[in-house]
């Protein structure tokens, strides 16, 4: 594992964008796994600028997002399809027919999850998976559990996750209680993993996830077993790990 404490939040975003840009340049037809949340917004902005300047192209890229709220249509302004269009897809030269987000509006969880796994396999697997880190250590919407879920599945969101995401909705009652998410096995099958983390409120979970025991109670800790993972944190998120970097 490569663990990097960036000089600033902006530096974290630029470094992460450079990792993705390098993947695009090495393989213009690569498969990217993408994440949502406030942390990746800066790196998506960097990639949009890079594309506008002709430094990178998404023309041959296929993407798979980690997750989507169950029950939200893609047009809903809090759906992750909407997020990706707003922050990346509508601003780069990507073929949006090759962008994939779990079908949140479909209530048939088995069909949605099985189709997503099949689509990832048909694309040849994910070359680089981008991740954020939840306050309780979740990746995607894989919440703390007794085991590591293997494949894409429907998950009941924990109260802490609902509360953390409520800032994006008009009120907490509007936050969906379930989501479709790639499983830990699906994430671990990516050929490389890139994680970005920002904020002092994540400092403790960063330390536990990457320098503590591997346990399904901290889902991100499984990444310690991945053979090609890069973690880039801003100074506040890395404050408790300065002796590790």
Q: Which residues contact 62 (CB under 8 A, 6 or more apart)?
A: 29, 30, 31, 32, 98, 99, 100, 123
Q: Is the dihedral of CA 116, 18, 13, 51 positive or negative?
A: negative
Catalytic residue among 138, 142, 153, 165: 138
Based on the residue annotation, tell me whether 91 is a catalytic residue of this protein.
no
143 given a catalytic annotation: yes
What are the Cα distances from residue 216, in Å, to 61, 184, 201, 205, 219?
A: 32, 10, 21, 13, 5
138 is catalytic: yes
Catalytic residue among 11, 106, 136, 226: 136
DSSP for 74-112 reads TTSTTSHHHHHHHHTGGGSS--GGGEE---TT---HHHH
Q: Are 64 and 120 in contact (CB under 8 A)?
A: yes
Catalytic residue among 50, 67, 127, 198: 67
Q: Select which of 68, 117, 143, 198 is catalytic.
A: 143
Active site residue 228: no
Give me the active site residues, please: 67, 136, 138, 143
């Amino acid at each position: 594992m490569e663990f990097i404490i960036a000089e600033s939040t902006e530096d974290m975003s630029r470094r992460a964008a450079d990792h993705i840009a390098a993947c695009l340049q090495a393989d213009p037809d690569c498969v990217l796994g993408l994440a949502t949340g406030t942390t990746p917004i800066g790196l998506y902005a960097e990639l949009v600028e890079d594309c506008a300047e002709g430094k990178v192209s998404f023309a041959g890229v296929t993407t798979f997002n980690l997750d989507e709220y169950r029950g939200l249509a893609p047009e809903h302004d809090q759906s992750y399809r909407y997020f990706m269009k707003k922050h990346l897809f509508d601003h780069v030269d990507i073929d949006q027919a090759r962008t994939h987000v779990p079908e949140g509006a479909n209530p048939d969880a088995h069909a949605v999850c099985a189709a997503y796994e099949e689509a990832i396999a048909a694309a040849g697997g994910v070359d680089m998976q981008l991740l954020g880190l939840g306050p309780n250590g979740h990746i995607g919407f894989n919440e703390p559990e007794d085991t590591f879920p293997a494949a894409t599945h429907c998950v009941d969101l924990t109260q802490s996750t609902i509360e953390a995401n409520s800032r994006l909705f008009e009120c907490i009652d509007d936050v969906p209680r379930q989501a479709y998410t790639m499983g830990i096995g699906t994430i671990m099958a990516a050929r490389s993993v890139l994680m970005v983390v920002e904020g002092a409120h994540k400092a403790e979970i960063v330390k536990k996830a990457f320098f503590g025991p591997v346990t399904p109670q901290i889902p991100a800790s499984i990444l310690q077993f991945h053979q090609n993972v890069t973690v880039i944190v801003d100074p506040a998120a890395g404050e408790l790990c300065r002796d590790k970097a």
